Chains A and B, each alone.
Chain A
C-alpha cells in the first residue's frame, strides 16, 4: 500500500468515526515508531560504536597495526609508561586552567556590562569577536602573538623592555603551556560570554529586582541572586568547554611542548610510529581519551539537570 493510500485509509477511518477503533494496529504503529527512533539513534552512533569496538580490539592486540595476538601487553605498557600520565595530567591542567580563567572572565564581563548603555552593548558585541574563529586559526594567532619574535615581543622591544627575542619568556611550546592556555582562554571566553550574556538577559534583572524588593543592597542582591543563577546556567557550557579543550588536537599541535607531550599528541605520535608494535598503544590512549570525554558528558548531564532545576 502506498503512503497516499495509507493516509486515505486513515482519513476514511476517521470520517467513519472509527478513530482509535483498532487498538492493536495503533499499538503496532507505536511500537514501529519506537523501533524507528532507536534505529535512527543506532545509525547516528554506529560509526563511533564501530570505532570504539575496533579500538578495544586494537588495544587487546587483536586488530589494527601492531596486532600480535590477544593479550594485555599494549594496556600494560601504556599504564606503565610515565608519559601517559604526564600527558593526561598536562592535558587536564591546560583544560582546567583555560576553562576556569575563561569562565571567570565571562562571568565578570557579563555582570559588569549587563546594562543597556551603548558601551554595555558595544562590549557584549566585541566580546564575541573570537567566536567564529576556528581553533586552528586561534592557535595560529597565539603563535604569531606569543612567540619570541611575535607581536608581544616586538611591542616589548619598541617600548624598550626587551633588546632581543631571547629576552621574551618562552610562551609557546613551553612546559606550562602558558601560550596555549592564553589562546584557549581568548577563544573559549567568547563562547562562555555568549552563554553568560543570555543567562543574565533571561533571568538576571528579574532576580536582582526580587532580591532588592526583599531589602538586599546592590552588592548583596548580586551575590545571592544573580551570581548563583549565572553559575548554574553557565555550568553545562563550562563542562562542555573543558571536555572539548582536553581532547583538542589542532591547538595543541601548534602550541604545546614536546615534553610533556599532551595526550592527543602522544596518541598521534604512537599511532604514526614507524615501529608497528607501538601503534597498538595508540588504541589504549584512544580509550583513555574516551573515558575522559564520557566522564565529561556525565558531568554535563548532571550540570544541565541542575541548571534546568534552577530555571
Chain B
C-alpha cells in the first residue's frame, strides 16, 4: 500500500470512528454534566445529579423506565410464544394459502405505527383499555407479533419436521410435541424472538402516545417531553438509558454468532 493510500485509509477510519461514536459520547457527556452553556466546548461542572431522576420523589424517568421495562418484557414474552405458534402453522402451508398468510403476517410490520395507532384507538377505547397499561401492551403486541411471526416463518422454513414426526410416532400428542420437542429445540430462536418483541415495544412512540393518551408514560415519551422543556441533560440521560438494552442485546447476538462460528466453521 502506498503512503498516500495508507494516509487516506487512516483518515477514513478516523472519520468513521468520529461519526459513529461521537454522538453517543456527547450523550454520555451531557448526562454527567451541568451548566453547559453556548459556546463552551466543555461543561462548567461534571455531576451525576441527572441520574438522580431514576430515584427519589420526583423519579419521573424511574417510573417511565419501569413502565417501559414492563411493556417490553410483556410484549417480548407474549409475542415470542405467539409468534412461534403462528409462524409454525403458517410455515406448514403451501401454494396460495401460504402467500396470503405471509402477506397477512407482514401487514402489522408494514403499516406505519402512527397509522396503526389511529386505526386502533377507537377499538381500544371502546374496550375500556384507553390510557391503561393493558391497552398499550395490546397495541405494542400488534406490530411485535408481526415481526416475531415472520421471524418464525423463516425459522420453520428450514426446520426439520421429521423430529416432530419421530416424537409423534413414539406416542407424543400435539401438545407434548410442542412443549417437549419443538420448544426445547427452538430455545435460541425463542430468545431472539423475545429480544425482537422487546425492542419493538422498547422504542415505540406513536402507539404509546395515542393508545396511552398521555396517561401511560414510557421512557421515549419522557425523553420527548424533556426535549420540549429544553432539559437537554435529562433528555440525554433518558436517551442513554434507552440505548443500553438494545446495545446489550446486540452484543449478546454478536457473541452468539461467534459461538455458532466455533461450532459451525
* Interface contact A119-B111, CB-CB below 8 Å: no
B93–A34 touching, CB < 8 Å = yes
Query: Which B residues, 105 to 120, have Cβ-Cβ distances below 8 Å to chain A?
Result: 105-108, 110-116, 118-120
Q: Mark B152-178, 1 if CB is under 8 A from A, else 0.
A: 000000000000000011111111100
Bound Cα distance from A267 to B117, whole angstroms: 11
Chain B residues with CB under 8 Å of A254's CB are: 224, 227
Chain B CB within 8 A of A69 CB: no
Chain B: which residue is nearest A4 at the CB level?
B173
Establish whether residues A293 and B110, one from each chain, have CB atoms under 8 Å apart when the complex forms. Answer: yes
Interchain CB contact under 8 A, B223 and A149: no
In the complex, what residues of B have CB within 8 A of residue A37's CB?
A: 89-90, 92-93, 97-98, 101
Q: A137 contacts B243, CB within 8 Å? A: yes
- Taking the complex as formed, is B20 at the interface, i.e. its CB lies under 8 A from any CB of chain A? yes
Q: What 1/0 flags go to A288-299 for Cβ under 8 Å of B? A: 011001101100
Q: How far is the CB of A245 from chain B (nearest CB, A)?
A: 10
Min Cβ gap A308→B in Å is 12
Which of A36, A43, A289 contacts B112 (CB under 8 A)?
A289
The answer to whether A122 and B13 touch across the interface, beta carbons within 8 angstroms, is: yes
Contacts of A149 in B (CB 8 A): 38-39
Which of these, B19, B116, B138, B227, contacts A48 with CB under 8 Å?
B116
Contact indicator B114/A268 (Cβ below 8 Å): yes
A40 neighbours in B (Cβ, 8 Å): 85-86, 89-90, 101, 149
- The smallest C-beta distance from A107 to any residue of chain B, in angstroms, reads 14
Whether B146 pairs with A289 at a CB distance below 8 angstroms is no
Contact A42–B39 (Cβ < 8 Å): no
Which of these binds chain A: B23-31, B56-64, B182-190?
Answer: B23-31
Asked if B16 contacts A264 (CB within 8 A), the reply is: no
CA distance A181 to B232 in the complex (A): 21
A41 to B105 alpha-carbon distance, docked (Å): 6
User: B13 to A131, Cβ gap below 8 A?
Assistant: no
Which residues 94-143 in A have Cβ within 8 Å of B in the complex?
109, 112, 119, 122-123, 126-138, 140-141, 143
Q: A38-B93, A155-B41, A249-B206 in contact; A45/B104 too (CB < 8 A)?
A: yes
Q: Assess whether B67 is interfacial by the CB under 8 Å rule.
A: no
Q: How many B residues have CB within 8 A of the partner chain?
A: 79
Cross-chain contact B115 with A250 (CB below 8 angstroms): no
A217-245 near B? 1/0 per residue, CB < 8 Å: 00000000000000000000000000100
Q: A250 near B206 (CB under 8 angstroms)?
A: yes
For the complex, is A64 an interface residue (Cβ under 8 Å from B)? yes
**Pair B41/A158 contact, Cβ less than 8 Å:** yes
Query: Is B249 located at the chain interface by the 8 A CB criterion?
Result: yes
Partner of A119 from B9, B21, B227, B235 at Cβ < 8 Å: B9
Task: Please give me the residue from chain B that is nearest to A253 by CB atom.
Answer: B224
Are A50 and B123 interface neighbours, CB within 8 A?
A: yes
B168 touches A7 (CB 8 A): yes
With a cutoff of 8 Å between Cβ atoms, the chain B residues found around residue A248 in the complex are 112
From B21, B101, B202, give the contact of A129 (CB < 8 A): B21
Would A137 and B242 count as touching, CB distance under 8 A? Answer: yes
A89 at the interface (CB under 8 A from B): no
| B122 CB-CB contact with A under 8 Å | yes
Shortest Cβ distance from A302 into chain B, in angstroms? 14
Q: Is A49 an interface residue (CB 8 A)?
A: yes
Residue pair A249, B205 in contact (C-beta under 8 Å): yes
| A293 touches which of B17, B111, B120 (Cβ 8 Å) | B111
Task: Decide: B16 and A140 in contact? CB cutoff 8 A.
Answer: no
Assembly CA distance A217 to B148 (angstroms): 45
Q: Are A44 and B119 in contact (CB under 8 A)?
A: no
Cα(A48)–Cα(B145), bound, Å: 11
Q: Is B250 an interface residue (CB 8 A)?
A: yes
Q: Which residue of B lies closest to A14 (CB)?
A: B169
- Which residues of chain A are near B210, meaning CB under 8 Å? 271
Find chain B residues with CB under 8 A from A157 CB: 38-39
Cα(A122)–Cα(B100), bound, Å = 43
Contact indicator per residue, chain A 252-274, by CB within 8 Å of chain B (1) or not (0): 01100000000010011001000
Closest residue on chain A to residue B244 by CB atoms: A132
* Residue pair A293, B38 in contact (C-beta under 8 Å): no
The B212-258 residues at the A interface (CB cut-off 8 A) are: 220, 223-224, 227, 232, 235-236, 239, 242-243, 246-247, 249-250
Answer whether residue A282 sits at the interface, using C-beta atoms and an 8 A cutoff.
Answer: yes
Asked if A55 lies at the interface with its beta carbon under 8 angstroms from chain B, I say yes
Roughly how many angstroms separate A189 CA and B232 CA in the complex, as a whole number? 25
B107 touches A48 (CB 8 A): yes
Known pairs A134-B220, A254-B227; A47 contacts B239 (CB<8 A): no
- Of residues 21 through 80 on chain B, the ones whose CB sits less than 8 Å from some CB of chain A are 21, 23-24, 26-27, 30, 38-41
Q: Which 9 A-B pairs have the closest CB atoms?
A: A51-B119, A3-B173, A247-B112, A132-B246, A41-B101, A134-B203, A129-B20, A141-B23, A157-B39
Given contacts A129-B20, A134-B220, A249-B205, 8 further A-B contacts (CB under 8 A): A47-B123, A132-B249, A133-B246, A137-B242, A140-B223, A267-B118, A286-B118, A293-B112
Interchain residue pairs with CB less than 8 A apart (25): A7-B168, A7-B176, A33-B89, A37-B93, A38-B100, A44-B105, A44-B149, A45-B105, A45-B108, A48-B107, A48-B111, A127-B20, A128-B250, A131-B246, A136-B224, A136-B239, A144-B232, A157-B39, A248-B112, A249-B205, A254-B227, A267-B118, A282-B118, A290-B115, A293-B111
